[in-house]
């Protein structure tokens, strides 16, 4: 099956725009096609990714900082170098305990993130 290319090939951090989500969170889309999407999410301490669910499978890498991560009924404190996996349609959220960056990968891509 052929997928349609919907993203640039290269993203350079200093020339890729950040979208302000709220006073604590910014989002930077860094690559996608119809099957996968990668997004950097920058948090200030106290930022909350409120509990939500979506049909996409999500894998997230903690690139910087420290986060309380809630997936379903489970809660864990994760730091730089840790990761987490969120199955489709499972309630999840995060709270930023130290300024940080999460790298989210979604499959399929988050059409709702594309304007």
The answer, yes or no, to whether residue 1 has pLDDT greater than 80, is: no
Per-residue model confidence (pLDDT) at position 9: 87
Give residue 4's pLDDT band: very low, low, confident or very high (50, 70, 90): low
Q: Is 30 a residue whose pLDDT tops 80?
A: yes
> What pLDDT, on the 0 to 100 scale, is given for residue 3?
47
Q: Which fold has domain 33-113?
A: Jelly Rolls (2.60.120)
pTM, entire model: 0.91
Give 3's contacts (C-beta < 8 A, 6+ positions apart): 33, 34, 35
pLDDT at 17 over 70: yes
What's the chain's average pLDDT?
93
Model confidence pLDDT, tens digit, residues 48-73: 999 999 999 999 999 999 999 999 99
Q: What is the pLDDT of residues 89-106, one digit of tens each?
A: 999 999 999 999 999 999
In this prediction, residues 16-39 reach a mean pLDDT of 95
Residue 5: pLDDT band with limits 50, 70, 90: low
């Amino acid at each position: 099956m052929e997928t349609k290319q919907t993203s640039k090939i290269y993203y350079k951090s200093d020339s890729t725009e950040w979208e302000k989500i709220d006073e604590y969170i910014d989002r930077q889309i860094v690559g996608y096609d119809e099957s996968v999407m990668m997004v950097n999410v920058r948090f200030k301490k106290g930022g909350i990714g409120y509990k939500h669910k979506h049909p996409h499978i999500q894998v997230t890498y903690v690139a910087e900082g420290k986060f309380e991560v809630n997936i379903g009924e489970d809660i864990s404190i994760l730091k730089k170098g840790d990761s987490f996996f969120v199955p489709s349609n499972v309630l999840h959220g995060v709270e930023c305990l130290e300024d940080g960056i999460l790298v989210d990968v979604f499959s399929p891509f988050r059409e709702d993130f594309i304007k």
